[in-house]
Copies of this chain bind each other. A is one copy, B any other.
Amino acid sequence: MASMRDVAEAAGVSVATVSHVLRGTKRVTPAVGARVRAAAAALGYVPNGQASALRTGRTGVLGVALPDLTNPFVAALLHAVESAARAAGFLVMVHDTENDRALEQAALGRLTALRVDGIVWVPAHDQGGLSPVRTARRAGAGAARRELSLPDVPLVTIDQPVADRDAVFSDHVSGGTLAAAHLKGLGVRRVALLHGASDVTSARARRRGFLAEWDPLTPVWEAQSGFGPELPGAVVRRLRGGGFDAVACANDAVAVGVMRVLERDGVRVPHDVSVVGFDDVPLAALVSPALTTVRQPLAAMGAAAVRLLVERMSDRARAARQVVLPVELVVRGSTAAKGGATDVGKATGKEPIGQRAQTRTEERARGV
């Protein structure tokens, strides 16, 4: 593969001149410029990124560590991040961590070894960092769990905070509140609340938001459901027991799992029971009935993550910042007023986003 030296020789100039021409870092006579460019093109010269990275200390690469690429939400998030990174001139290095703590540590290590300019980390579990909404509460909680050693590289987490690092969130609390308010408005009284797992920050925040809005006197049946469509046996039994008007789910995958269980028992959605999801993955609009859910602003999250990284590259000492992004309720066919005669067939037609509620955009800085 042709090197800069080859180009220099072919053009009859020094390597320094070649570099200057190709990067436009110094004025040259038109004649020389043309000669260099011609030589480079003729040789099919492609600059060696490794070498320039070594020299300049910048690779133009962002690392992304993800818990599980088979999860459609995670895949969509990767798309958002890759898109934003590319727009900012970065390539993206991706590492699946398979929800495994050891692999997460390995991923961070390998990415820093490659000297990526920054890392976007979507942690699998709660990292003990303070959540933006309970800053004041239980400071120091979660210290029991040993922390991962974080590399000295610009790093931003998504959805699970980590101490003294930049982070991007959806407003999960408001998301929970929106779901609760929507169900309340439909006349739902008895609700089952499936939160995925207690060691996931976002799931806890959603639950908190939901319960804050829900009438404290009305009973809520809660259970941990995990985050996939295959529900735990205990949850399935509970669902089949009936006795509720609506199910609020940890995410869309769980919601689909719930709908399958209900359908199998002949329970009609939304006529007998309303179901609401979370995330708004592509799947949500395609199942039948289409899923009412809370949409996470993926593109904005990716953009915010990249923006935070870029900012930190130019100011490594800046205080950690958390960006909270607004979610919106997307009403489709899986929820309907209690006793109302909503036509399911119609409701599942062409993406009937009837009502949208949106939380405020919020951004704040926290000191170190």
- A101 beta carbon closer than 8 Å to chain B: no
Closest 4 CB pairs of A and B: A75-B75, A69-B79, A49-B114, A50-B53
Within 8 A of B (CB), among A254-275: 256-257, 259-260, 263-264, 266
Contacts of A109 on B, CB cut-off 8 Å? 46
- Rounded to whole angstroms, the CA-CA distance of A163 and B84 in the bound complex is 33
Cβ-defined contact, A115 with B75, below 8 A: no
CA distance A139 to B25 in the complex (A): 48
- Using a CB–CB cutoff of 8 Å, the interface residues on chain A facing chain B are 1, 44, 46-51, 53-54, 59-61, 69-70, 72, 75-76, 78-79, 82-83, 86, 91-96, 109-115, 151-152, 229, 256-257, 259-260, 263-264, 266, 282-283, 286-288, 345, 348-349
Given contacts A82-B94, A288-B287, contact A113 B47 (CB under 8 A): yes
A84 to nearest B CB, angstroms?
Answer: 11
State how many copies of this chain the complex holds.
Answer: 2
A69 to B49 Cα, complex, angstroms: 25
* Contact yes or no, A92 B91, CB < 8 A: no
For A44, A48, A109, A257, the residue with the greatest tally of chain B CB atoms inside 10 Å of its CB is: A48
CB pair B79 A96 closer than 8 Å: yes
Contact A72 B69 (CB under 8 A): no
Subset of 12 A-B contacts with CB under 8 Å: A49-B114, A70-B79, A72-B282, A82-B94, A82-B96, A91-B95, A229-B286, A257-B286, A263-B288, A263-B348, A283-B283, A283-B286
Partner among B54, B72, B111 whose Cβ is within 8 Å of the Cβ of A50: B54
| Complex interface: chain B residues within 8 A of A53 (CB) | 50
Chain B nearest CB from A343 CB (Å) reads: 11
With A95-B91, A260-B348 in contact, is A69–B61 under 8 Å at CB?
no
- CA A189 to CA B11, docked complex, whole Å: 70
